[in-house]
Amino acid sequence: MSAKSHATKSKSVKPSQPVKPVESIEPAVTASATASDDGIFSARFDRHRDELESLFRMLYGESAELNEFERAMADAYADRPADLKALDIAREQDPQWYKRGDMFGMTMYTDLFAGDLKKLAGKIDYLKEQKLTYLHLMPLLQMPHPDNDGGYAIEDFDAVDPRIGTNEDLAALTKKLREAGISLCLDFVMNHTASSHRWAKAAEAGDPKYQDYYFCYDDRTVPDQYDAQVPQVFPNTAPGNFTYNEKMGKWVMTQFYPFQWDLNYRNPKVFVAMMSSVLHLANLGVEVFRLDAVPYIWKQLGTNCRNLPQVHTIVRMMRMMLEIVCPAVVLKGEVVMSPKELAAYFGTPERPECHMLYNVSIMVNLWSALANGDTRLLKAQIDKLDALPENCWFVNYLRCHDDIGWGLDEDEEVRLAIDPLKHKEFLYHFYEGAEPGSWAMGELYNYDEASKDARSCGTTASLCGVEKAIITHDKPAYEKAIGRDLLMHRAMAFLRGFPMLNCGDEIGQLNGWEYKEDPDRVEDSRNLHRSPFDWNKADERHTEGTLQSRLWEGMEGLREMRSDPCFAPDAWVTTWDTHDDGVLAVVRKQGERTIVGLFNFADRDATATMDSTVDATLPAEPVALTPYEYKVIVTHE
């Protein structure tokens, strides 16, 4: 396997300031002794102490770092602002707050939307106009420039990147968002640091203590043993799992990119330091942490280093840590795995882990159904997720900062007589506009000639056909494209979980082809859907008949739909057979009330016929739908 290149472009960033050291060990001090004496922390800590300490020792033995971990929790509680402590108490009394039907989210890059954190704070009225309750800002902690993988290479987990603002700006923003009823979500990149992080620099300089923060080897013996079992994350753009560092004279594990060094969570110092950073950010007002690449964080020779039991031990300890220090804060896992792997990341009702997960598989299946007008794979995937335990909750979305990876259920495809490889090739060629009859405009990402694997990039509007219709001045195609866009959003929002928009989708923002003129961005086609927010286009949302107005009103309708009692956290949700593969039917029931969502993914007229049962009152007569039409029907009250 060829090694990754060590060379990177020169960087001009403010040096990282050392975080509060956690390595020194002092005589044992009980956690409650250093926290404020209001009794709340002690009571929370006592509820979790036995399990937390047992799990810590399971991973790390009788390490003195346990004392440091407990001290960090106590100090974080003592430092926690009073208004956040009040929010903690309110959330403890309303533990399902993030499952309510009025939850409505958006994800964005701070710089692309507003420039920096101060300017974003001045745009909160725009967010309130959409009745947002949840805002996910892409990584904004200190990072190298330009090689930072969209912010997922972090130099300092305790400091905002100077180009975006300061820690004080972040705290001021979160306070304004809370006043507006909006919870802030930030990524916590657990798997790796930037190669320019102070730990990596110390390791590179030869410090064995910090080399043990990573996976560093003198020769290829151990790396080759890992490579025999561990898949490559980016075989085309960043092949291999190790990079040779000439200054250190060692091979270092870099599963993602050469400038992202994988952290060694077998070292308790790493765990304690990273947890301290989580608590620091929570005290700045972060209410949701998206755990990036969490299935990868524990490495063990002889395995594929994915979804190992120790990962769940760490996430469980994180969950307890938050419930002790800041129970207003929730965890959202990024788990790009098959449905059978997902339930484990929620833990159990008695020993929970993540509060919610990204619904990656449904996102992929929605786009698959739209391309071929066939909802069978989508329905099967929804059924598998609906069969998960009640504690499993999802954030549903169509587009985000990342590509669309075509990870469909190959066993189900075979059962339906669909060739998995041919179907995947069809999908990524369709969404780059290369298939006959395609309406989409997008680009491939990470195409691999050997495996014929590729992913897709583009905004929702452009992938639904809006951009092509505008360019070709095709009015009928334009109307269908808007219909597809609204259908996809409405179907996504009808499923179990809560919806999250990608910033710009509410006004139909098109692809940003100008990225090809930027030498720092041209190599990554994901920048096609990472373009500056078009405020001039946003101003047209109040002009009747414009694309922006029609989609804006569509999102208002989506929120009105979700105000129905059948979107309560404990509502019963299931799919239903329509006797037409082009139409997806989802039934929601709460008490005596039943509603049915019908979504025609086919570019043809369709008829949904639903067989009635004792369990739910369904439409007695067939329901006709035009191409890409959706209907929500109240069938029983």
User: Positive or negative CA dihedral for 467, 468, 474, 478?
Assistant: negative
Residues 199/202/208/210 CA torsion (nearest 10 deg): -10
Helix pair 360-372, 420-430: axis angle to 10 deg: 80
Q: b/e for 143-157, b at 16 or more Cβ within 10 A?
A: bbeebbbbbbbbbbb
Q: How far does the chain reach from its first CA to its final CA, in angstroms?
A: 63
Nearest-5° Cα angle at 338, 335 to 341: 70
Q: Which of 65, 75, 169, 292 is catalytic?
A: 292
Cα–Cα dist 272/487, whole Å: 46
Query: How many residues would you count in the chain?
Result: 637
Q: Rounded to 5 degrees, what are φ and ψ at 628?
A: 65, 20
Q: In the numeric block, which tokens belong to residue 433?
A: 């506009």
List the one residue out of 271, 324, 310 whose CA is nearest residue 63: 271
Half-sphere exposure (CA, 13 Å, Cβ side) for 501? 27
List the one residue out of 65, 564, 477, 82 whose CA is nearest residue 285: 82
Q: Are 178 and 45 in contact (CB under 8 A)?
A: no
The enclosing H or E element of 226 equals: helix 221-227
Q: Are 242 and 254 in contact (CB under 8 A)?
A: yes
What is the 3-state secondary structure of 488-530?
A: HHHHHHHCCCEEEEECCHHHCCCCCHHHHHCCCCCCCHHHHHC
Nearest-5° Cα angle at 13, 8 to 15: 110
| 288-292/330-333 β-pairing | parallel
Contacts of 529 (CB under 8 A, 6+ apart): 399, 401, 457, 458, 459, 502, 511, 512
Q: In the numeric block, which tokens belong to residue 502?
A: 């990608």
Cα–Cα dist 498/66, whole Å: 37
Q: Is 94 exposed, middle or buried (0-12, 13-18, 19+ CB in 10 A)?
A: exposed
Question: What single string gives the DSSP state of each residue in 153-216?
Answer: S-SEEEEE-TTT--HHHHHHHHHHHHHTT-EEEEEEE-SEEETTSHHHHHHHTT-HHHHTTS-E
Whether 292 is catalytic is yes
Contacts of 375 (CB under 8 A, 6+ apart): 369, 581, 582, 583, 584, 599, 601
List the one residue out of 355, 366, 368 whose CA is nearest residue 397: 366
Q: Please identify which residue in the block is written with the tokens 């804006």.
A: 552
List the one residue out of 234, 511, 494, 542 whose CA is nearest residue 502: 511
Q: In the numeric block, which tokens belong to residue 489?
A: 């959003």
Whether 168 is catalytic is no
Q: Which of 149, 334, 353, 506 is catalytic?
A: 334
Cα–Cα dist 364/369, whole Å: 9
By annotation, the residues acting in catalysis are 292, 334
